Homo-oligomer: A and B are copies of this chain.
């Protein structure tokens, strides 16, 4: 296939590099920065630089922009894609994208299917992209009501080729609700965690737990604000929930209730162990 990648940042660049390293497909690259395009061409991450007018050359197009830019690009260019070709995205929220483009793409004879590669780094941009960024990670496919099974199958197969080890099919609603917990809440909690005056003394007093809890505090606030504000209800539920749970530990401390503290900690430990067992048991998807 000829695969177009739109936006050669961390995710888009990693798609290009993985396509070139792991498949026989041709990779066409588009980015607003000519500098980045040239770099990608020179280091053979892409076979060809394209413009918006070349979108009809691709059999499959992966849009790798921030949420609002993804939606704008998809809306603006719907008529430029090859009829019958596949268009997908890599946005971290799916209802926002799918609900706005499903009908439009169906009407234009282009096979749209949403996707979310569950991978990232604490760095942004093409320079940090990696051919193995997706190895062992989850790839979530989010069909619209118009997506046919052939389209889903092509994407599944490509994701497996690119190294994703776990391919999940989800509705936009389940995706957004779950991601609010597994990813968005993690970024908020981590970002809030560092906001203690005690961080001034931290150096020399931290072990792995501090590093783990605060790794994703270093985030791209432009992108994450968009993701959060477009998934408000689900994320609000999770933030309110963790505040409520943390308040239980707070009360146990306040009331000097070590029995309560012990039972709170035991409860959390058991939930975590159950979740770990589930991961260990999980079969690889076909």
A residues whose Cβ falls under 8 Å from a Cβ of B:
118-120, 137-138, 140, 166, 168, 170, 174-175, 177-183, 185-196, 198-199, 201-210, 212-219, 221-222, 224-226, 228-229, 232, 235-236, 238-243, 245-250, 253-254, 256, 258, 261-262, 264-269, 271-273, 275-276, 278-279, 282
Docked complex Cα distance between A30 and B269 (Å): 29
B186 touches A261 (CB 8 A): no
A258 touches B225 (CB 8 A): yes
A204 touches B140 (CB 8 A): yes
Residues of B within 8 A of A207 (CB): 118-120, 137-138, 182-183
A229 touches B204 (CB 8 A): no
B213 touches A190 (CB 8 A): yes
Residues of B within 8 A of A203 (CB): 275, 278-279, 282
Partner of A245 from B195, B198, B209, B261 at Cβ < 8 Å: B195
Residues of B within 8 A of A195 (CB): 241-242, 245, 267-268, 271
A205 touches B140 (CB 8 A): yes
Overall SS of chain A's interface: helix
Find the B residue at minimum CB distance from A263.
B221
Docked complex Cα distance between A226 and B138 (Å): 38
Partner of A209 from B199, B216, B279, B282 at Cβ < 8 Å: B216
Docked complex Cα distance between A192 and B16 (Å): 39
Partner of A229 from B194, B222, B258, B275 at Cβ < 8 Å: B258
B268 touches A191 (CB 8 A): yes
Residues of B within 8 A of A180 (CB): 198
Which of A219, A253, A258, A278 has the most chain B CB within a 10 Å cutoff?
A253
Docked complex Cα distance between A275 and B215 (Å): 11
Partner of A218 from B204, B212, B273 at Cβ < 8 Å: B273
A254 touches B272 (CB 8 A): no
For this complex, 23 residue pairs linking A to B, each with C-beta atoms less than 8 Å apart, are A120-B207, A120-B208, A138-B207, A179-B205, A191-B249, A191-B272, A192-B245, A192-B249, A195-B268, A199-B271, A199-B275, A212-B212, A212-B216, A213-B213, A219-B269, A224-B265, A225-B258, A226-B258, A229-B261, A236-B250, A236-B254, A240-B250, A246-B246
